[in-house]
Amino acid sequence: MKFVHIADIHFDSPFVNLSSKENLGEIRRLDQRKVFKKVITYIQENNIPLLFIAGDLYEHKYVKQSTIQYINNLFKEIPNTQIFISPGNHDPYLQNSYYSQFEWSPNVNIFQSKFKKISTPEVDIYGHGFDDFYCTDCGIENVQVEDPNKLNIAIIHGTLNGANIEEMQYNAISKKILESKGFDYIAMGHIHKQSYKDEPNQRIVYPGSCISLGFDELGKHGMIVGEIIKQELNLEFIPLDEKEFIEKEIDVTDILSKEQLIEMLNNQNYPETEFVKIILTGTRHFEIDIYKIYQFIESNQIIKIKNKTKPYYDLEKLAKDSTLKGMFASKILEKMQNKELEEHEKEILEKAIEVAFDALQ
């Protein structure tokens, strides 16, 4: 039994973190359509009978009806594929949601808040969906596999082993309990990082988001393609997103002016398939105003710049002064020369230098 497993596309996401670049949000929304079209084309070309969508297919607060129609028209192109959707926290099954009000293609199955089993001749598919923007108990403890001799698959949007307060709001599920249920495959959504080969014979799988939503989602993004028979599961990750968010660190220690920094940034060559976040590190010899630097960046691929530099101070020279700043520098220098100083203590001292010297200007 072959299947495709995707999650967390977030159709019509506002991409607020990318708004600093003109039209980039609109470009990424078009990329979402391209990626989803790739999924449907793959299913058509490979005669895949099952498509699992484990939540956050779209953004309830922002999605347009035209986008829903676009999605549904693609579903109609694969009439022989049964589609199973488990609504998530961004696309819950609300009374006024498109899941409830829209007339979906006949091959689309949408789960609601109570666990439900949908049977085909070869497989029983159990699913649960959010009915609100939060879910604290999906009722997995009460689910029992009815026919262990068939293939049994679960589709769930949630957090595996969620422990903190935030995670508990988004359907935190015990991995131990989930494993005890006897499912042959558990198609998960919500976590945007892929997880399918983290342990031997892994059956609780996150495909990650189909398309990266920003710099907190580095690396490749795509879908899981699987083939399953009893006691045997073969999985493959197929990248879909043609763009990739990456981070590059640049040490500014040897850069002596704003003009030199801008020139160096404009000399960086990045392929059009990359969105780049520049992280400035090292010690700086001049004040760095990120917003002014943005105005002179010529590369369309540099989306963000983060300043993690530390100001340069010649403590030995400053310690020789008879001023209050000199006395402070002398005390800090004495502490910094302590060989037993731990790294986090050193960071605190460095921050103290910056704060104190700013105050003593």
pLDDT at 314: 67
DSSP 235: E
Cα distances (angstroms) measured from residue 281 to each of 217, 299, 308:
21, 20, 5
| Cβ neighbours of 112 (radius 10 Å) | 17
Fold classification of 2-239 is: Purple Acid Phosphatase; chain A, domain 2 (3.60.21)
pLDDT at 162: 80
pLDDT at 20: 60
Regarding beta strands 151-157 and 172-173, do their DSSP bridges make them parallel or antiparallel, or are they unpaired? unpaired
Instruction: Report the SS3 class of residue 201.
Output: coil
pTM: 0.85
d(CA 15, CA 155): 27
Mean pLDDT of successive 10-residue segments in the chain (361 residues)?
97 79 85 97 98 97 97 98 98 97 98 94 95 92 92 96 83 92 96 94 96 91 94 94 94 93 93 93 88 89 90 72 78 78 75 67 60
pLDDT at 358: 62
* Residue spans per domain, the chain: 2-239, 244-359
d(CA 267, CA 298): 9
pLDDT at 338: 79
d(CA 219, CA 85): 25
d(CA 296, CA 348): 34
pLDDT at 236: 97
pLDDT at 79: 98
